[in-house]
Structures are given as C-alpha cells and as structure tokens.
Amino acid sequence: MLAGRSLRVSFRTFGCKLNQAETEALADGFSAAGAVVVGPGELADLVVFNTCTVTSKAEQKARREMRLALRRNPEAVAIVTGCYAELEPEAVAAVAPRCVVVPGSRKGSVVGMASGLVAARLEGLDPLDELRRLAALAAGREADPFAFAPGDALFHSRPQLKVQDGCDNRCAYCRVCLARGHSVSLEPDEALRRALALESRGAPEIVLTGVNLSQYRSGGLDFPGLLEALVAGTEKIAFRLSSYEPDRADERFMAAFSPPRVRPHLHLSVQSGSDRVLAAMGRRYRRDAVLRAAEAARAARGDPFIGADIILGFPGEGDDDFADTVDLLERLEPAWVHAFTFSPRPGTRAFDMRPKVPERVAVERAAAVQAVAERGKAAFAARRAGRVVDAVIESPAESGEPALATSAEYLKLAIRGAPTGFVGACSCRVDPEPPTEGLRDGLDLTASFIA
C-alpha cells in the first residue's frame, strides 16, 4: 500500500435520526483527525457502517452494502457498529474478513480510533491490523454514549443533537431497547454548551434526538425542563423534536413546547389505534391519550404539524383493530404518518406471538394508512397557501433550480428567488395555489423567497 496518502473514509447510516446524528459526529471526528471524508459511492480505504436492527430488511441491506463496498475496494476495511452489530456481532463479523465489529454500545470509541488509522494509512500500513489493535483496546474501556459532540463542520443546516439514549420500556416488538440498553441522558449544561456551539456556527435549527426523549432525566431536569433550559440559554436558534411518547405530551410538556423558537412539529410514536393491540404491544397508553396529546398541541400551537408512527400487522391485529387505527387517524388528522409493517424480531416478546397477520394483509393495511397520510399532508399544506412561513434552506438555488427547504412546520418547499448558494434561515411566501403538477418527489409546496 502506497505511503503518504491520507485515509479516505466513507460512512453508511441505516435507520433512525439518532444513528444519523452519531454518524455526523463520527465523520467530523475523522475529518478533524486528518482523514478525507468521501461520499458513499466513492472509493474509500475505510467504510464505517452504522447499522440498524429495527427490521430484518435493515440488516439484510447492511450486509449487502458491506459486501459491495469491500468488493469495490478489496484493500478497504470496514468498521461495523450500531444496533445490529450490538445484538449480532458474530453474524456481522462473518459477512467479510476485512470487517471489524465495534458493538453499538461502544460506538463512541470509534472517534478515538481516527488518528491511529490516519497515521497507519500515511505510513502505507494495512489499516486492518491497526483497526483490530484499536478495537481490542477500545473493547476494554467504557464508551461514552454522548461522545458525539457536534463538530466544526456543519454537515446539515439542521444538525441533530443527541441528548438521550436507550429506553427503560420493553415494548413487545422493539429491539432498539435491547440494543441500546437503559435510558441515559446528556447533562443539561453540556447539552446547552453543544447547542451554543451550533448556534455560534450559524445553524438556524437543532433537531433534538434520542431513543425516547420523554425519558430524559439529568441534573434534576426532565425533557420539558431541558427544552426550557435550551431555549432560555440560547438567543435565536430554533429547536425541533425528533419524536415523543403520546402519554408524556402532557400539560408540562406543552408549556415547554409553546415558545415560538420550538418548531410547531410534534411526531408521536402512536403505533396503533386499537386499545387491544396497544395492550398487546405493551404500550403505556391507550388511544384517548393520543387524541388528548394532539388536542393539547393544537391548543398550544394553533395548527402544528402532527406526525405519527403506526405499525400494521402486529400479531393478532384483526379487521376491527385495523378499523380502530383508521378511525383514530381520521380523528387525529395528522399531517403525516410513517406506516410500518410489523417485522418479527428475535429476542422480542412479539417474535413468538400468534396469530400472525399475513404479510399481504399488513402491506394492504399500510397502503391504506399511507393514503390517509397523503390526504392529511395535502390538507395541511393547503392551509399554508398564500402564507408567509419561516424555513431553513438546506440545498441552495443554483443554475435556475429553486432552493430546497424545510419549513418551520416541517413541509418540504421549493423556493424561487433565493440568492444563489444561500443556505440557512429565511422567510418565504407560499404560493396561493398548491402546485397541481411537476413538483419533485418529497416536495410539498412552492414559495417565493422574501428574506
């Protein structure tokens, strides 16, 4: 291997916003150590896989991509971390000989390996030996679940800030709690220090992430307390929440959710509209709590973007249960729904539950819920017609193409008239007529730039 060339590293992230936040910090750590961060499709000496275990499909995809990346560059090595690597290290290690597994619970130690790997590459040494040595060293040490401080580079104009990890609940279908362990929280002072760092770097918005934000506890604060402290301790940056438990979106939460610098966007982990299925899932609330949370959010913020996660095809879910789910969504009028089909996961209580719902039926139910979601999004977007909204431009206008942005309410906008190359906070006027055709996938509205 030729000496004197910098280590080229690329990253693959599977799964949730929390994994994305962690990968961003890892990429920043390698770039700070002198590595060259290259895109997923580019040739790399090191590929870092941040895996997910929520569905078997996510695991399959990770295995496929690992083989592909190492076939593309036989001299490359791979670090495989994340939830899949935490729960199935042997299966992951067996995918390819040049893979080194760092269990998800030690993901924080990967940042510390960067300088050693960069040095090895500069000396023209095979990084595999160095990687194995560093991974063995890290295996003997406690890893900090919050070793993912946002770095100098802003990879996103809406960076994520990890403030919580793990979960103390044990929902019947969930493997995340098994992979990430019990709930832990970032100290409020450190959370504020990181938020201020992002604000000073010009980030217009922070997305607060965790596995279960409602279980945040540190320094005598719960999550509403943390949110209040972050808003009080910063000047102009906005805060968005990744998702929240319906039963914890109570009066105290709504008080913290009300300030204008908190985005009017509440994504609820609902999972089902049937009380019988919620009980079987081991969820800690019933459908009325979901409706109460939405009602309170609307009382606090007028017309916030309410999103929901729904699992279809949970064992024992009958037509009546499904009808209850559709009925709940009709009453909830969400602006969006993530509809997932149930994936039986080894090690969870639901894995052996019966009767199973045929995959075909689960997929049909998910499609029906998707249709409800699209109607909800169209109605929510239409209520913005002609209005002035705040947004964050994430990809700049260039060569006649509009800028692409996310509005404060979480709508995806195509904005005409924005300065070429500009990214960041802006205000824009939504077009009076919602676009009838030609809007690119994933975009909801068109608008004209104001400032």
**Residues found near ligand SF4 in the complex (CB under 6 A):** 167, 169-171, 174, 176-177, 211-212
Q: Closest Cα partner for 435 from 410, 416, 409?
A: 416
35: its two tokens: 């590595």
CB-CB neighbours of 36 under 10 Å: 17
> What number of CA atoms fall less than 13 Å from residue 158's CA on the CB side?
23
Minimum gap (Å) between residue 50 Cβ and ligand SF4: 17
Instruction: Considering the complex, state which of residue 22 and residue 205 has its C-beta at the smaller distance from ligand SF4.
Output: 22
Instruction: Considering the complex, state which of residue 286 and residue 375 has its C-beta at the smaller distance from ligand SF4.
Output: 286
Minimum gap (Å) between residue 246 Cβ and ligand SF4: 11
Instruction: Considering the complex, state which of residue 155 and residue 244 has its C-beta at the smaller distance from ligand SF4.
Output: 244
Instruction: Considering the complex, state which of residue 72 and residue 170 has its C-beta at the smaller distance from ligand SF4.
Output: 170
Minimum gap (Å) between residue 254 Cβ and ligand SF4: 20
State the amino acid at position 283 in one-letter form: R
267: its two tokens: 């994504």
Minimum gap (Å) between residue 167 Cβ and ligand SF4: 3
Minimum gap (Å) between residue 170 Cβ and ligand SF4: 6
Minimum gap (Å) between residue 15 Cβ and ligand SF4: 12
Query: Can you tell me the distance from the alpha carbon of 432 to that of 177, in angstroms, rounded to the nearest whole number?
Result: 45
In three-state secondary structure terms, 10 is: strand
Q: Closest Cα partner for 22 from 123, 138, 201, 143?
A: 143
- Secondary-structure breakdown of the chain: helix, strand, coil percentages, each rounded to the nearest 5: 40, 20, 40
Instruction: Considering the complex, state which of residue 80 and residue 213 has its C-beta at the smaller distance from ligand SF4.
Output: 213
Cβ(280)–Cβ(314) below 8 Å: yes
The number of helix segments (H) and strand segments (E) in the chain equals 14, 20
Instruction: Considering the complex, state which of residue 162 and residue 384 has its C-beta at the smaller distance from ligand SF4.
Output: 162
H/E stretch holding 208: strand 205-209
Query: Can you tell me the distance from the alpha carbon of 376 to that of 82, in angstroms, rounded to the nearest whole number?
Result: 34
Query: Can you tell me the distance from the alpha carbon of 172 to that of 96, in angstroms, rounded to the nearest whole number?
Result: 32
Report CA torsion sign: 81, 87, 89, 94.
negative
Instruction: Considering the complex, state which of residue 212 and residue 218 has its C-beta at the smaller distance from ligand SF4.
Output: 212
Minimum gap (Å) between residue 171 Cβ and ligand SF4: 3
Minimum gap (Å) between residue 60 Cβ and ligand SF4: 21
Instruction: Considering the complex, state which of residue 167 and residue 415 has its C-beta at the smaller distance from ligand SF4.
Output: 167
